[in-house]
Structure 1
Amino acid sequence: MGLLTIGVFARAARLSPKALRLYDELGLLTPARVDPSSGYRLYDPAQLERARLVAWLRRLGMPLVRIRAVCDAGPGAGAAEVRAYWARVESDTAARRDLAAFLIGHLSGKDTTMTSATTTGPRPAFAIRYAAASDTGTVRERNEDTAYAGPRLLAVADGFGGASGPSGLSGPSGLSGPSGPSGTDTSAPRAADTPGAPASAVAVEALKALETVEAPLGDLLNSLEEAARRAHDSVNELASSDPALHGVGTTLTALLWSGSRLALVHIGDSRAYLLRGDRFFQITHDHTLVRAMVDEGRITAEEASSHPQRALLLRALGGGGEFAPDLGVREVRAGDRYLLCSDGLSAVVGAEDIREVVAAAPAPGDAVRELIDLAVRAGGPDNVSCVVADVVASREP
């Protein structure tokens, strides 16, 4: 069979002539020959397989740059590229699912109000009992974590980077927050005087104003996102204020309560878990190189736990990176127990051991102490911070 005109080739490949001209310009699908007089593009029938592959990948929504990588790779490598792309699509879809559910409920007229913590008004459907603590661990000289718990806001941040700072606080900090479902927050961020520590502290400080914000539930996620952006800017300002702080950054995982829902902001490798009934599961996605490699099928979860680059972050606040957190809204239920922690816990204590403590501890303070003890007994190679909160029905006035 001779060369095919662009029209015939387009019909056979189920692509439009306009698309074929674009793919030619991008070097993705170059014609076998271009007539020097007319400029007509002519294609070899053998190119149909590549053209059809391009068409299939476009139906998946794959970007053209990534399609080129698939087409230029061999069959095995091409399959790995498609697997990696689809894993990312599923991850992004899962992150948007809760937000879609929230918007459906919001647009259906189920909005409530997040009232000021310092003024009278409608009581939320639920309240929380909470505790937070941070420990330097047995290896690090300083603590770069910050853990915070209040009536509406929970947060964990793990600072990093910068030149070595002066000696700071060390050893375990006390539990923060009352043990009851309501009350004045007397906690303060726990952080040490070391470059990563102020980064985590200023990030959490930027969120604390949300404790007394009055806003419709529809603005809950926007309020949290704006506060997280302020935290990102604050960390960048900190980095530019002193050469010794150049390059500092921090992870941030935070939950903000309103009525029967909570908003989540997450960036980095600190984590949030939920215990609901007998189910215990992670509700955040690690922004690390090894997690991306697992998602793409390049390594197993077991290999990731001992990978030499397992601490390498892909996203964080500050640190010279873009502001790109995960955001979501979740429905809460009475009896839920939430855990926020830095990787000083999750990197050395298995998920099943964490679950056992979270499920068995009678109160948030007990859970926090036992989890930190677990990390320390496992060697405590990093700072470890935990926040635990129980969702309870609001007390009647």
Structure 2
Amino acid sequence: MVFQKRHVEPRFPPRHVLVLHGLCVPFCKGSSKLSRKRSHGKMPANWSVSWAGATDQGKVRSQNQDNYYGDPRGRFLIVADGMGGHSGGEIASQITVDAVIGVLNELDWDEVPEPEVLINQCVTAATDGLKDWVKTHPDQSDLGTTLLLWIRTQGRVILASLGDSRIYLLRENRLFQITFDQTIESELRRRGATREQALKSPGSAYLSRCILASRTCEPDIISIDSRDSDTWMLCSDGLTREVDNEVIHEMMTRLFPRPPKDTVHALVERALQNGGRDNVTVVVAKLQSTTQINTENL
């Protein structure tokens, strides 16, 4: 996470939940007309998740402020990219990951709440965790973190995003960027500004939303029907600053037949080869219509 993104501008209203039937890139033209009925999905009852994840400090940063976690049963994945001085970023991302794990480990997976309810519970727990830390560490009041959540339920996947970490989906050899960067520049461009206009706006590189101790930000929440052989990728901006979408697509497609750990390793290595200017974290999960669950941590 770059230094200039510590400041957060509270300019924009929260997003609503989108339920994507089949598949549609969220927030594209016409997405507001999508049905918001609960999705039933097309995934068979017996299916599993194989996943792998890795994080690297990179070649420039003095510490790694990224954190990630994957549920051993393949039910949820978390990525957080922290920010803040005096090791605040590393602390913020770890507190956030731990808080979300606490919420999801207590969840009744036979009665999963609606996406808004579940995600808001996770965000509130993370925000409260940062607030509690700052009470005893006031010199770290500027700490914060991005947050990505991937939660598998029957027939669908619930996603949540705060910040500029990203979620991608590889389906039938097509790569979809499911989330968008929650920066001032990106928000302005989504509202019709040209790239040049957005870049000239004060604080264009700042995050517009993230997990903070000072206030609660509304996440983007997305629900997508699951399909066999879907491959998901969650990453911090340490990957996307160094590797563009076209290269990510080529690599994920080429490595699709191989275990997720191979894709993770290749993407992290490519980010390092291209400069490694930031911490880089990559988590890849593949859905399979089998009963065996295989989790691989690097």
Instruction: Bin the TM-score by the shorter chain.
Output: 0.7 to 0.9
284, 289, 298: which one aligns with 1:393: 289
Which residue of structure 2 lines up, in the alignment, with residue 140 of structure 1?
Answer: 61
In structure 1, stretches of 5+ residues that fail to align are 1-89, 111-122, 165-193
Amino acid at match of 2:212: G
* Further displaced range: 358-367 or 212-221: 212-221
Decide which structure has greater helix share: 1
Q: Which runs of 4+ in 1 moved over 6 A?
A: none
Amino acid at match of 2:218: A
Amino acid at match of 1:366: D
* Further displaced range: 262-271 or 320-329: 320-329
TM-score (norm 2): 0.78
Count of residue correspondences: 260
8 A contact 2:46–2:291 mirrored in 1:
no
Quote how far apart the aligned CAs of 1:325 are. 0.6
The higher relative CO (CA closer than 8 Å, separation ≥ 6) is in 2
Q: Alpha carbons of 1:240 and 1:218: their partners in 2 closer, same or farther (altered >3 Å)? A: same
Which residue of structure 1 lines up, in the alignment, with residue 78 of structure 2?
Answer: 155
Q: Distance between the aligned counterparts of 1:95 and 1:247, measured in 2?
A: 34
Which residue of structure 2 lines up, in the alignment, with residue 75 of structure 1?
Answer: none
Quote how far apart the aligned CAs of 1:235 are. 1.8
SS state at 1:134 partner: strand
Which residue of structure 2 lines up, in the alignment, with residue 351 of structure 1?
Answer: 245
Question: Which structure 2 residues correspond to residues 58-97 of structure 1 after superposition, within 5 A?
Answer: 94=31, 97=34
TM-score (norm 1): 0.60
Q: Distance between the aligned counterparts of 2:47 and 2:106, measured in 1?
A: 17
Which residue of structure 2 lines up, in the alignment, with residue 207 of structure 1?
Answer: 100
Q: Distance between the aligned counterparts of 1:366 and 1:211, measured in 2?
A: 28
1:375 aligns with 2:298: no
8 A contact 1:336–1:391 mirrored in 2:
yes
Which residue of structure 2 lines up, in the alignment, with residue 243 of structure 1?
Answer: 138
Quote how far apart the aligned CAs of 1:318 are. 0.9
Q: Which has the larger radius of gyration?
A: 1
Q: Alpha carbons of 1:341 and 1:355: their partners in 2 closer, same or farther (altered >3 Å)? A: same
Q: Distance between the aligned counterparts of 1:250 and 1:269, measured in 2?
A: 10
In structure 2, stretches of 5+ residues that fail to align are 1-26, 294-298
8 A contact 1:255–1:263 mirrored in 2:
yes
311, 314, 317: which one aligns with 2:208: 314
Identity of aligned residues (%): 31
Q: Alpha carbons of 1:153 and 1:250: their partners in 2 closer, same or farther (altered >3 Å)? A: same
Which residue of structure 2 lines up, in the alignment, with residue 263 of structure 1?
Answer: 158
Q: Distance between the aligned counterparts of 1:276 and 1:136, measured in 2?
A: 30
1:196 aligns with 2:89: yes
Amino acid at match of 2:252: V
8 A contact 1:146–1:200 mirrored in 2:
yes
Which residue of structure 2 lines up, in the alignment, with residue 43 of structure 1?
Answer: none
Decide which structure has greater strand share: 2
Amino acid at match of 1:160: M
1:292 aligns with 2:187: yes
Quote how far apart the aligned CAs of 1:211 are. 4.3
